[in-house]
Amino acid sequence: MAQAAPVTGGTTRGGRTPDVFSERTHAAAKVVVPVVLGLVYGYWAAANTRYGGPITGWNLLFGFVTAIVFAAVWMGLAALTPRLPRELHAALWASFTGIAVGFLYSLSGRGHSVLGSAGMGLAFAVVAFAVLFYRYYTHEDAEGHRIR
């Protein structure tokens, strides 16, 4: 019986893992992912503002406007941040995460204060910064250039 020879590391030339998706798929994902996440975020925000009541036209409008703003900011950050140093890259995405979570938290209950929403957003932003900084730091070479 013949068996395949073992391959070391499971990588291709240059030590990189193989890319299984085409360029067309990556280009589509740059638009589809923010739009879908924006729609989910907008639905969540609209559901929080109605407090279990009926769905109204203003509620739908609020959800769609929130989705558009979320997707637009996401696409803007995705276009801007790869050119920035890792600290600023992580800080911008962490700020976006904290603001998004704090906004949803402020909409979720009538008794939540501004300080409580800011604290919740800050807590999520700190965790997001630590995770993202670690990821960007470990995906660079010795001179600080990103490994693609």
Number of H helices and E strands in the chain, helices first, is 4, 0
Per-residue pLDDT tens digits for 80-92: 988 888 889 999 9
Q: Residue 11: its pLDDT value, please?
A: 53
For the packed helices 57-80 and 23-50, what is the interaxial angle rounded to 10 degrees? Answer: 140
And the tokens for 109?
Answer: 């209950």
**3-state SS class at 6:** coil
**Rounded to whole angstroms, how far apart are CA atoms 39 and 43?**
6
**3-state SS class at 146:** strand
Per-residue pLDDT tens digits for 53-108: 888 899 999 999 999 999 999 999 999 988 888 889 999 999 999 999 999 999 98
